[in-house]
Amino acid sequence: MAACMSPGWCPIAVTLRPFLPALLLSAGLTLLMLPLQTDIDLSNTALLYVLLVVVIGSRYGRGPAIAAALASALLYAHVFVPPLFSLAITELQYLLAAGVMLVVALLVGHLTASLKAHAEQVQAREAQARALYDLARHLTAAQTPAEVEGITRHFLETVLQAREVRIVPQSAFAEPPAPLTPALLQAVLAARHPLLSAGAGPDRSLVLVPLLAAAGRGYLLACEIPGAAAGAGATRELLETASSVVLVALERTYFAEVARETEMRRSTESLRNSILSALSHDLRTPLTVMVGLADTLGLGKASPERQKSMLAALRNQALSINQLVTNLLDMARLRSGGIELNEDWQPIEEVIGATLQQVRSHWKDREVTLDIPAGLPPLRFDAVLVERVLWNLMENAIKYSPADTPVELVVRRVGEWLDVMVCDWGPGLPAEGGEELFGMFRRGQTESSIPGVGLGLAIARGIAEAHGGQVLAENRLGGGACFRLRLPIGNPPALEELEEAT
């Protein structure tokens, strides 16, 4: 409003502004009608004035409509009613016409204006209802109390021009953010009613709405809104409606969290049980063998050859326990989320070569073949962990396929992925598919003499997923199973030339 020179005058100027067109239009109509005075009947002229009042009433509201009615009546009487250009009305019928016109204009103007006010109110309510609906819709997607707070903040900022919107849970009442105080929060919560205009500044009001949930849990919705809005009854109503929606969302996130924790406890419990049962079986068996072997050897009665093979058995049992402990430790690290990837760009050939070397020294008599194309791009991965994956897959393939068949390692680039496949000529995957095998403590053959607890594949998959990759199981044509380690190729950084040290 560029015309506002002094701020004190502006409100008056704003209030008076709609009256100006009302008066101008009345005068304009009079001037327009003046040349046609002789052609148009007097009663039609009166109707035109009534029409003008209706238009002004619907456009500018009640006040201007009344002003227009009065002005029209005066102008009508003055300009059109004989004697012309005089307020004096000589004939009774003209007086009646002027009087009726004034009353009709007032009535119609009043009705139009109320209709307009009503329509505006309905529109405002509709906008609020839509905002509330949006609020409710967005809140259904909220997963955490912080998200609920964010959505509520957005709603109140849009609808009420609120600032400093916060949801304070009861647990944080002891140390609330300024300017809130613990006593104030407790008082509002105890009163169970919203508190408006607790005073946050001259033209801002502090609003505190208690959100009371079942079982004594409570939250407080706090915000600052413009002083004018704080006085309106609609604001209180809106706040109460909004806060009940917000409370439902808060409670939902609370119970979702409770359910998640319960589920986690339950799965931890069942994991603990399967670990215990697996350990008691898979650890005790080799330990029993070891004790027995040690005792028998201690007697010193076995033949030297026999003693030698018993000692070898003793060593193998100990190594299998070591493997078990390694797997359990890996699993514990993966499960606790405490795994930190030590990633680096490096060629996959290096890890494959090193793993193959270890596999060949561990299973000296087993044939392991490697098919790897040249010119593979470097990948970003943690070498120690990927080695564990390859070792586990190869150990599986070796253990679960006949000793006289080869284990094949095949590396292929498939689009944006690099696949390392470990394939065997064993019995293949169970009929119900391979997914089952990736669960913890799942074994291809549940009761068998093949040592292991069924953690290898679960670990392999856990590590692959931590790298953004996957481990997949499939049957190969002609029998046997293939386990596929799939790693993303990504964009290796370009190598700059390093200067040589002199």
Q: Examine residue 500 and tell whether it contacts other proteins (CB under 8 A).
A: yes
152: Cβ contacts below 8 Å, ≥ 6 apart:
135, 139, 165, 167, 221, 242, 246
Q: Measured between alpha carbons, how far is 358 from 326 in angstroms, rounded to an integer?
A: 16
Q: Examine residue 344 and tell whether it contacts other proteins (CB under 8 A).
A: yes
CB nearer to other proteins: pick between 388 and 443: 388
Total interface residues for other proteins by CB under 8 A:
32
CB nearer to other proteins: pick between 347 and 479: 347
Q: Examine residue 457 and tell whether it contacts other proteins (CB under 8 A).
A: no
CB of 460 to other proteins, least distance (A): 16
CB nearer to other proteins: pick between 282 and 330: 330
Q: Which of residues 386-415 bind other proteins (CB under 8 A)?
A: 387
CB nearer to other proteins: pick between 220 and 348: 348
Give CA 185 to chain center in angstroms: 29
CB of 486 to other proteins, least distance (A): 19
Segment near other proteins (CB under 8 A), from 82-90, 226-234, 377-385, 392-400? Answer: 377-385
Side-chain-side CA neighbours of 2 within 13 Å: the count stands at: 0
CB of 419 to other proteins, least distance (A): 16
CB nearer to other proteins: pick between 44 and 342: 342
202, with CB counted inside 10 A (0-12, 13-18, 19+), is exposed
Three-class DSSP labels, 135-152: HHHHHHHCCCHHHHHHHH
Q: Examine residue 474 and tell whether it contacts other proteins (CB under 8 A).
A: no
CB nearer to other proteins: pick between 387 and 424: 387
Select from 313, 372, 466, 489 the one that contacts other proteins (CB under 8 A).
372
Q: Examine residue 195 and tell whether it contacts other proteins (CB under 8 A).
A: no
**Computed from CA positions of residues 105, 110, 111, 115, in that sequence, does the dihedral angle turn out positive or negative?**
positive
Side-chain-side CA neighbours of 344 within 13 Å: the count stands at: 8
CB nearer to other proteins: pick between 357 and 448: 357
Select from 99, 177, 353, 479 the one that contacts other proteins (CB under 8 A).
353
Tell which residue, 329, 325, 331, 370, has the closest CA to residue 351.
Answer: 370
Q: Examine residue 336 and tell whether it contacts other proteins (CB under 8 A).
A: no
CB of 267 to other proteins, least distance (A): 25
CB nearer to other proteins: pick between 353 and 479: 353
Segment near other proteins (CB under 8 A), from 181-189, 255-263, 342-350, 466-474? Answer: 342-350
Q: Measured between alpha carbons, how far is 22 from 487 in angstroms, rounded to an integer?
A: 77
CB of 332 to other proteins, least distance (A): 11
CB contact at 8 A, 73 and 101: yes
CB contact at 8 A, 469 and 407: no
Select from 357, 414, 435, 465 the one that contacts other proteins (CB under 8 A).
357
CB contact at 8 A, 194 and 225: no
**Computed from CA positions of residues 442, 397, 484, 326, in that sequence, does the dihedral angle turn out positive or negative?**
positive
How would DSSP label each residue in 19-74?
HHHHHHHHHHHHHHHGGGTTTS-HHHHHHHHHHHHHHHHHHH-HHHHHHHHHHHHH
CB contact at 8 A, 18 and 64: yes
Tell which residue, 176, 150, 166, 172, has the closest CA to residue 218.
Answer: 172
Q: Which of residues 14-33 bind other proteins (CB under 8 A)?
A: none
Q: Examine residue 79 and tell whether it contacts other proteins (CB under 8 A).
A: no
CB nearer to other proteins: pick between 345 and 363: 345
Q: Examine residue 370 and tell whether it contacts other proteins (CB under 8 A).
A: yes
Select from 54, 71, 352, 453 the one that contacts other proteins (CB under 8 A).
352
CB of 466 to other proteins, least distance (A): 16
Which tokens in the block code for residue 348? 């996959």
Q: Measured between alpha carbons, how far is 231 from 366 in angstroms, rounded to an integer?
A: 86
CB nearer to other proteins: pick between 142 and 390: 390
CB nearer to other proteins: pick between 271 and 383: 383
Helices (H), 300-373: 304-335, 348-362
Q: Examine residue 499 and tell whether it contacts other proteins (CB under 8 A).
A: yes
CB of 185 to other proteins, least distance (A): 48
CB of 254 to other proteins, least distance (A): 39
Q: Which of residues 287-326 bind other proteins (CB under 8 A)?
A: 315, 318-319, 322, 326
* Residue 420 dihedral angles phi and psi, to the nearest 5°: -110, 115
Q: Examine residue 384 and tell whether it contacts other proteins (CB under 8 A).
A: yes
CB nearer to other proteins: pick between 17 and 315: 315
CB of 352 to other proteins, least distance (A): 7
Name residue, tokens 């359990």.
328
R_g of the chain computed on alpha carbons: 43
Q: Examine residue 339 and tell whether it contacts other proteins (CB under 8 A).
A: no
Give CA 424 to chain center in angstroms: 44
**Contact positions vs other proteins (CB under 8 A):** 315, 318-319, 322, 326, 329, 342, 344-347, 349-357, 370, 372, 378, 383-384, 387, 493, 495, 498-501
